Amino acid sequence: MKNLWAPWRMRYIEKESRDEESGCLFCPRIESDEDEKNLIVGRTGLSVVFMNKYPYNGGHVLVMPKRHLAELGDLEDGELFDLFDAVRKMRDAIDSVMKPHGYNVGINLGEVAGAGVPGHLHVHLVPRWKGDTNFMPLFGEVHVISEHIEATRAKLSEAFAKLTEKE
């Protein structure tokens, strides 16, 4: 097997920090006001949208409640509505900026279901394009992302802000 090197990603891998109390990767970032540094695309009253640092495709975001919860059943009605309203608005923002042909939307509940951060519920929103699968993931076990994550975050943040400021 050949390797495709992406050493710029090490700065993300090495700087991962978790809240001492909850062990959560997201909570300290949600409490911070450094949205650009933390790759936060936008916020609503009860939810927050992050760029996925390890995306399946360009524009892959994570939408989650601000409150540290692991299960859908733990969400209060207002949080549930806000979460999925944020998913809908983020989809509209991605549509306006990236023009995908479709989406994968999903929640991994529990570590065995694939949750990389099982303690903080989050919804994956992954834009998809016709023909976006190619030989790289199949043979090289590598995903090719065309635009730097920070550039994508800036574009999506602007589009998301326009959609949420109408409220």
Residues tagged active-site: 122
Tokens of 6: 């992406």
Backbone angles phi, psi at 64, to 5 degrees: -145, 160
Long-range contacts of 21-29 (CB under 8 A, 24+ apart): 22/68, 22/119, 23/119, 24/68, 24/117, 24/119, 24/120, 25/117, 25/120, 26/50, 26/64, 26/68, 26/117, 26/120, 26/122, 27/68, 27/120
Residue 65 host element (H or E): strand 61-65
Strands 61-65 and 47-51: antiparallel
Task: Report the distance separating Cα 120 and Cα 133, nearest Å.
Answer: 29
